[in-house]
């Protein structure tokens, strides 16, 4: 390619400018941002006048009117391909598109599961409605009612029942009586409780005495006061007294029940609330099972008995596997029979089975119609979220086998955790006994060794003294009878024992008996008693030391 000098220069300058633009990060970002804005406008408008909807960062149109017309006509042939790539299609008129985009939401219809209504669903809705009413009434009573008066006065001093002037008049000069009178106080909560109790007692007395007008007025007043306190359920029970003596007594029983129920733990209140419906359903199922057991003919009983036998065999196999692994067997009431026909309810109550993932998947596949939804709830099978949490808790489901093993291991862990303290106590007692025995043995050994050593030393000293005296007497007699010549005198027989006596020659100054006894006692404390051979060496050393002393003395 032959280019002139000017063309070459122009080509190189254009190439450098293009390279600089491409390498500039702001240019790349601006280009990509503009392309993304154009694609977004094409997709949202489905290709209809898309250039007018392309906006810059400031929210202003990116193209002028002429550019909008130009780019719209330029991209018109490629618009179906671009939209099909992003899963969109062009429709005539363009106004039908919003309706088409809303169609998938209608097709999904997630409300189908909520349309199924049963006893549990209605009961749960009633409970939630009651809880919402409780929160609303309590909020108003806390801001403008008696409940606010009680809460504000919890941080204030109690009411003094006896005025100060009366205290001075009663106590006189006695300070002890005055201090006692100052301690007679009453809290505002106690005062409110006494007022409500007095009004209730007056209302009952008026009803019993036949004063209808007083009963009605007091019932209305009591109902308003209960409502201001936030107890709307008690307010309804109090208003029942307006219609007669019997409704009044019924309302009083309801108020007593509500008071006692509030004394329970909140968790027990929740379990009792959901358990009341569960108990009613269990009673109804028990009645039906009893009627079926009494009236079922043979052709109906026979297949049931066979099914129960199969269930019993399966349970025995499972129990055998569990017991072989050291786990606890399943409860006996999980084996239904025609004699114990009510044990069928235990299978529906088994938490390991009901709370397993297999059972949850089975219920989800079966629970497809409203009729089956009601039947499952009547059979006390947890279908709703609230009743499943009541029966299984808020933990995630686990396989059936895993839950059975965990239950067995849980029992074993508890048993193991209870056993170690006993073992540790036994070990500590054994160690203490061993220590006491060892100390007793050591003390006995020490005393025995000391007594034996003393006795041996005494006997040895006496025997040696006697032997020395005899040998000295004999030697003196012999020396007197026949004195040896000077050449023979130096040759003495005891010289053979001189090398033996050279070892203890270091003890030129004999140690006192207190110091000599210490090295003999030390090995007895740290080590077991010495064998008789070591005892013989000790005697030998004593003899040698005594002979060395005698020779030194001579």
Burial of 325 (0-12, 13-18, 19+ CB in 10 A): exposed
Question: Alpha-carbon distance 149 to 2, whole Å?
Answer: 102
Query: Which phi-psi region, left, alpha or beta, contains residue 47 (left: φ > 0; alpha: ψ -120 to 50)?
Result: left
The pLDDT value given to residue 198: 92
Query: What residue segments make up the domains of the chain, in order of their start?
Result: 5-94, 131-263, 271-413, 502-554
The pLDDT value given to residue 1: 54
76 Cβ contact partners less than 8 Å away, ≥ 6 residues apart:
47
Q: Which residue has the tokens 């039947």?
A: 375
* Stretch (H or E) spanning 160: strand 159-160
Closest CA to 351 of 411, 319, 393: 393
Q: Which residue has the tokens 């941002």?
A: 33
The DSSP 8-state label assigned to residue 331 in this structure reads: P
DSSP letters spanning 227-246: HHTT-HHHHHHHHGGGG-HH
The pLDDT value given to residue 57: 75
From first to last of its 554 residues, the chain has per-residue pLDDT tens of 566 767 667 767 777 777 776 666 666 667 777 777 887 788 888 777 888 878 877 777 877 877 878 778 777 877 787 777 766 655 544 444 444 444 444 444 444 445 667 788 888 888 888 888 988 888 888 887 777 777 777 778 888 888 877 877 887 788 888 788 888 888 888 888 899 899 999 999 999 988 889 999 999 999 998 888 888 999 999 999 999 999 999 999 999 999 999 999 988 888 888 888 888 888 988 898 889 888 888 888 888 888 888 888 888 888 888 788 777 777 777 777 888 888 888 877 777 778 888 778 877 887 777 777 887 788 788 888 888 887 787 778 888 778 777 776 664 444 343 444 444 444 445 555 565 555 556 556 655 555 556 555 666 666 666 656 665 565 555 444 444 444 444 444 444 444 444 444 444 445 444 444 444 444 444 444 544 444 455 555 566 667 766 766 66
The pLDDT value given to residue 147: 76
The pLDDT value given to residue 504: 44
The pLDDT value given to residue 256: 93
The pLDDT value given to residue 263: 92
Burial of 137 (0-12, 13-18, 19+ CB in 10 A): buried
| Torsion angle in degrees (nearest 10) through CA of 499, 501, 505, 509 | -170
Closest CA to 449 of 538, 532, 524: 524
In the three-class reduction of DSSP (H, G, I as helix; E, B as strand; rest coil), residue 159 is classed as strand
Burial of 409 (0-12, 13-18, 19+ CB in 10 A): middle
The pLDDT value given to residue 499: 44
The pLDDT value given to residue 104: 46
């Amino acid at each position: 390619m032959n280019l002139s000098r000017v063309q070459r220069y122009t080509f190189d300058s254009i190439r450098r400018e293009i390279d600089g633009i491409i390498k500039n990060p702001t240019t790349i970002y601006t280009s990509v941002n503009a392309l993304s804005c154009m694609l977004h406008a094409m997709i949202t408008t489905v290709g209809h006048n898309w250039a007018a909807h392309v906006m810059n960062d400031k929210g202003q149109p990116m193209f002028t009117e002429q550019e909008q017309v130009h780019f719209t006509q330029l991209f018109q042939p490629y618009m179906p391909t671009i939209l099909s790539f992003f899963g969109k299609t062009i429709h005539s008129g363009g106004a039908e598109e919003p309706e088409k985009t809303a169609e998938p939401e209608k097709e999904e219809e997630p409300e189908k599961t909520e349309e199924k209504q049963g006893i549990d669903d209605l009961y749960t809705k009633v409970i939630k409605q009651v809880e919402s009413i409780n929160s609303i009434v309590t909020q108003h009573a806390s801001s403008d009612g008696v409940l606010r008066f009680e809460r504000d006065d919890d941080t204030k001093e109690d009411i003094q029942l006896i005025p100060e002037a009366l205290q001075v008049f009663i106590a006189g000069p006695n300070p002890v009586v005055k201090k006692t009178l100052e301690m007679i106080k009453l809290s505002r909560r106690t005062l409110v409780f006494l007022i409500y109790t007095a009004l209730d007692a007056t209302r009952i007395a008026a009803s019993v005495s036949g004063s209808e007008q007083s009963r009605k007025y007091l019932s209305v007043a009591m109902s308003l006061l209960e409502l201001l306190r936030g107890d709307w359920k008690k307010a309804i029970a109090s208003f029942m007294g307006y219609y007669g003596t019997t409704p009044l007594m019924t309302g009083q029983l309801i108020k007593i029940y509500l008071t006692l129920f509030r004394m329970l733990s909140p968790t027990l209140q929740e379990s009792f609330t959901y358990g009341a419906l569960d108990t009613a359903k269990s009673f109804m199922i028990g009645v039906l099972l009893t009627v079926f057991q009494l009236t079922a003919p043979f052709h109906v009983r026979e297949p049931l008995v066979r099914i129960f036998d199969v269930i019993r065999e399966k349970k025995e196999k499972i129990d055998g596997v569990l017991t072989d692994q050291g786990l606890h067997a399943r409860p006996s009431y999980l084996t239904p029979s025609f004699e114990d026909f009510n044990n069928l309810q235990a299978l529906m109550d088994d938490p390991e089975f009901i709370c397993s993932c297999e059972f949850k998947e089975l219920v989800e596949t079966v629970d497809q119609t409203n009729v089956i939804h009601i039947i499952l709830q009547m059979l006390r099978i947890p279908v709703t979220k609230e009743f499943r949490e009541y029966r299984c808790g808020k933990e995630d489901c686990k396989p059936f086998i895993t839950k059975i093993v965990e239950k067995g291991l849980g029992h074993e862990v508890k048993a193991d955790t209870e056993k170690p303290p006993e073992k540790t106590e036994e070990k500590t007692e054994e160690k203490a006994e061993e220590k006491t025995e060892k100390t007793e043995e050591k003390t006995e050994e020490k005393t025995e060794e000391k007594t034996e050593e003393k006795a041996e030393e005494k006997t040895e000293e006496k025997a040696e003294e006697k032997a020395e005296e005899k040998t000295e007497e004999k030697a003196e007699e012999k020396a007197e009878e026949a004195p040896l010549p000077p050449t023979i005198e130096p040759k003495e027989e005891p010289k053979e024992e001189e090398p033996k006596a050279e070892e203890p020659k270091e003890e030129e100054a004999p140690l006192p008996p207190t110091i000599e006894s210490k090295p003999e006692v030390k090995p007895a404390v740290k080590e077991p008693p010495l064998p008789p051979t070591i005892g013989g060496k000790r005697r030998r050393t004593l003899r040698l030391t005594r002979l060395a002393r005698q020779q030194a003395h001579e």
